[in-house]
Structure 1
C-alpha cells in the first residue's frame, strides 16, 4: 500500500490571505455604488453592522450545516438586513464584485509551494478540496492558473460546487471517487483542525496540518493536531509526505 492522491486546501495552505483587506474594500465600495444607484443612504455603522451580520450568518451555516452560502445568498442576506428594496440589477452587480475582487487583489502562493507541487505531481495525483467564501471555485481556479499551478491538479472539490463543506465526507469523496482512490491511499493537507484535519481523519485519510501562513486570519487551532503531522513550510510538507508514504511499504 502507498499514497496515490494528495489533496490540498486552497486558503492559508496553498495560498495565503494577502490583500484580504483590499478585497473587502472593493466589495464595500460596490455596495456603496449600488446604494447610490437605488437612491438609498445608510450610515457607515449601519453598513459595517450589516457586513458583520452577513459574515456571522455565513459562519453559522458553515459550521451548523456543513455548507458555505453562495455569494448571492450572502449579498441578499446583507440586503435584507438593511431593509433595502429588492433590485435585481443592483444585487447582481454587487455579487459580481464580490466574486471577482480576488482577481484585482489576489492572494499569494505560499513560499516553496510551486517547487513542492512540481515534485509531488511526478509521483501522485493532486487535487484541491476547498471551502469557498465570497469567491467561487471557478474563480479560484483562475487564480491558480495565473500563479502557474493549476495544471498540477487533476481534480477539484469546491464547496460552492459540491454544496457541502469540510468536514462533510462528500467534500473528500468527490475527488477520491473521480481519481479512483480509496481514502487509505490518500493524504490531505489543510490549515483548519476542525474542518480539514477532522474531516480527513474521519475518512481514514492521512492528514497534515499546515500552520505556515503568517497572514492567517482564522481563530487559532488546537495546540495538538489529530492528524499525522503539523508543518510550517511546504518543504517540510514534502518531507512529511515522503515519510508517511515510506512507512506504508
Structure 2
C-alpha cells in the first residue's frame, strides 16, 4: 500500500546554479549591511562579507552535528564574527530588519525547478497520494522557501512542509520524517521518501520506517545501496511508485 510520498527540497524539487547561489550571497551581504547602516551602525561591505563566510563555517559544523538554527540565530552568529562597535544586544527593530534581509534573497534569486518536479508532483497528487516536503534549509529559511516554491508552482501540490530551521533538527534525524507523516496523517509503512542524498534522505527515511527512492543524478553521484529504488530523474518516479505501490511488477 502507498498513501504518501515525501520529497527532499534542494537538488530534488528545486536547485540553485552558480548564478543564483552567487546572487543570493551578494544580496544577503548587501541587505545585512544596509540594515545595519539604517540602524546607525555603518559597517564596510568587506567586513560583512568576512563575517558571513566565517558564520558559514560555524554553521557547517552545527549542521554536521544534526542540528539547525533559525534565521535569527544565523544572524546572531554572523554578528558574533563582525568586527565593529556593535552593542551586546541590538535593538529589536534592527534585529527584525536584519533577519528579513537575510531571509529574502531566495525571492530575488529564485531557484530553478528540477527536471520533472512539477510533473511528478502532479502525477502523485492526481492519484490521491498525500504529499510532503522535508527540507534541510541551509541559509534560506522555510518562511521564504514557501513563497519561492509557490512561485515555481510546486507548493500547491504539498499537503505538509517540514523545514529544518523551524525544528532545530536536520535530516537524517528521523523525527523530521515522523513530524511530516504526522501532519499528513499517514504511517511510515505506507510512505515513500524521495531525495538525492544517500545519508540525509535514504538512510534518514529508512531509520524512520519509510521506503526510500534515491534520486541519483549521474553515474558520478554517490550511490545509496539501501535504497528501495534508484532513479536518474523525477520523470522516472511514476513508474517506480507504481511498482512500490504493488500495482505493477518490477
In the alignment, does 2:157 pair up with 1:156?
Answer: no
Q: Structure 1 residue 168 and structure 2 residue 173: aligned?
A: yes
The corresponding residue for 2:117 is 113
The residue matched to 1:164 in structure 2 has which SS? coil
> 1:9, 1:128 within 8 Å by CA — same for their partners in 2?
yes
TM-score (norm 2): 0.86
Distance of 1:198 and 1:121 partners within structure 2? 25
Contact 2:75/2:98 (<8 A) preserved: yes
Match of 1:54 in 2: 55
Determine if contact 1:14/1:113 at 8 Å carries over to the other structure. yes
**Higher deviation after alignment, 79-88 or 50-59:** 79-88
With normalisation by structure 1, the TM-score equals 0.86
- 1:33 corresponds to which residue? 34
Paired with 2:71 and 2:225, the residues of 1 have a C-alpha distance of 31
1:243 aligns with 2:243: yes
Tell which has more relative contact order, 1 or 2 (C-alpha 8 A, sep 6+): 1
Q: CA deviation at 1:222?
A: 3.4
RMSD: 2.4
Equivalenced residue count is: 240
Match of 1:216 in 2: none
**Alpha-carbon distance in 2 for matches of 1:36, 1:141:** 29
Runs of 5+ in structure 1 lacking a partner? 214-219
Structure 2 unaligned residues grouped into runs of 5+ = none
Distance in 2, Cα, partners of 1:34 & 1:145: 27
- In structure 2, the residue matched to 1:7 is 6
Q: CA deviation at 1:93?
A: 2.2
- 1:27 and 1:94 in contact (8 A); partners too: no
Distance in 2 between residues matched to 1:203 and 1:98, nearest whole Å? 32
Is residue 2:208 matched to residue 1:207? Answer: no
Give 1:22's aligned residue: 23
Provide the C-alpha distance between the structure 2 equivalents of 1:242 and 1:221, rounded to a whole number of angstroms.
25
